[in-house]
């Protein structure tokens, strides 16, 4: 991550502020993805570039005000709402994902922070998305379906898409004190109100969360526990996803060499057609670069395999 410090009166809105702290960071990834479904199989190039911008300024009273924004492009992300889900070349295949617009700045998250208290507005993190245990691993190069995310994206989340502020605009409060933390969030999307609390004890993190929503299929309750068990870091997570029922995930990560680790998971849910499971490897090449790959048998009875390189900056 690179940091650039700007100290110029041209960057501030009032005469009493001397400087702004702006940090640029992110990652790039590229490789191959193979997908096998009942409709057929395909092998495709997969890629993503993400540039994250974090800007902060501190008041005389010691309160930090800031904002976070992203510019992101995937190989299958449309440049505008007009091209989402279209078959541009007429070959019968959709060229752009039907749920993603990119090539632009996403919705901005603004915040004010003092000590262990933070208030965020705009493109919020979301209490369930930010809850420990909901992303226990990062499988392969691309995530390979994310069946190991128990709340299954049925709550507010930070949206990297170009129009991220439009659907998930909300407010949240985060507080931490020692090993204890709490997070409450709310948005107009399905009139969601969610919260989680987490506590770390003897190297194990316990978390519990809940949500009230107008959608019957949104997550209502979630819980997780994670820590080290012998040579492995393990996490057990559960979510009650409304009328779609229960979702369970058991995952683990362990080292197989000085620069290589392996991640595994098994997940089952009432709305899955099949039990989902997967395995990957991550090999550190140094300097923020890594070789990654994995395979997952997904809940919709499809198989996804990927391999490629990721570099952080």
pLDDT tens-digit map of 127-166: 999 999 999 999 999 999 999 999 999 999 999 887 665 5
Under CATH, which architecture does the 2-74+106-312 domain have? Beta Barrel (2.40)
Q: In angstroms, rounded to a whole number, what is the distance separating the alpha carbons of residues 223 and 202?
A: 18
pLDDT score for 128: 98
pLDDT, tens only, 171-230? 999 999 999 999 999 999 999 999 999 999 999 999 999 999 999 999 999 999 999 988
| 8-22, 221-235, 244-258: segment of lowest average pLDDT | 8-22
Per the CB < 8 A criterion, the answer to whether 144 and 304 are in contact is yes
User: HSE on the CB side for 106, CA within 13 Å?
Assistant: 29
- DSSP-derived letter for residue 82 is G
Phi, psi of 152 (to 5 degrees): 60, 35
Average pLDDT over residues 73-86: 76
Per the CB < 8 A criterion, the answer to whether 137 and 148 are in contact is yes
Neighbour tally for 110: CB within 10 Å: 16
Q: What does each C-alpha distance from 139 to 172, 258, 265 come to in angstroms?
A: 28, 19, 9
Task: Report the b/e string of 7-32 with b at 16+ CB within 10 A.
Answer: eeeeeeeeeeeeebbbbeebbbbebe
pLDDT score for 166: 57
Average predicted confidence (pLDDT) for the chain: 90
Delimit the domains of the chain by residue range. 2-74+106-312
């Amino acid at each position: 991550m690179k940091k650039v410090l700007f100290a110029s009166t041209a960057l501030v809105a009032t005469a009493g502020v001397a400087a702004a702290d702006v940090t640029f960071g992110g990652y790039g990834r590229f490789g191959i993805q193979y997908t096998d479904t009942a409709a057929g199989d395909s092998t495709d190039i997969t890629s993503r570039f993400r540039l994250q911008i974090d800007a902060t300024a501190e008041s005389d009273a010691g309160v930090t005000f800031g904002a976070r924004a992203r510019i992101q492009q995937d190989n299958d992300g449309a440049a505008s709402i007009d091209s989402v889900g279209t078959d541009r070349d007429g070959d019968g295949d959709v060229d752009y994902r039907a749920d993603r617009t990119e090539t632009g700045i996403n919705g901005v998250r603004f915040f004010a922070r003092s000590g262990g208290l933070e208030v965020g507005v705009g493109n919020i993190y979301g209490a369930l998305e930010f809850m420990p245990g909901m992303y226990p691993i990062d499988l392969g190069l691309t995530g390979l379906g994310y069946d190991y995310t128990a709340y299954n994206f049925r709550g507010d989340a930070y949206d990297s898409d170009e129009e991220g502020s439009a659907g998930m605009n909300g407010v949240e409060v985060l507080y931490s004190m020692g090993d204890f933390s709490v997070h409450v969030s709310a948005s107009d999307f399905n009139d969601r109100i969610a919260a989680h609390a987490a506590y770390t004890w003897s190297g194990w993190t316990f978390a519990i969360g809940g949500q009230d929503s107008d959608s019957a299929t949104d997550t209502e309750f979630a819980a997780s526990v994670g820590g080290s068990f012998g040579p492995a870091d393990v996490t057990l997570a559960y979510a009650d996803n409304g009328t779609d029922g229960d979702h369970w995930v058991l995952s683990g990560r362990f080292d197989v060499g000085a620069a290589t680790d392996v991640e595994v998971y098994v997940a089952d849910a009432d709305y899955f057609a099949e039990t989902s499971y997967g395995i990957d490897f991550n090999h550190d090449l140094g300097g923020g670069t890594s070789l990654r790959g994995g395979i997952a048998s997904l809940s919709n009875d499809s198989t996804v395999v990927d391999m490629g390189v990721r570099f952080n900056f």
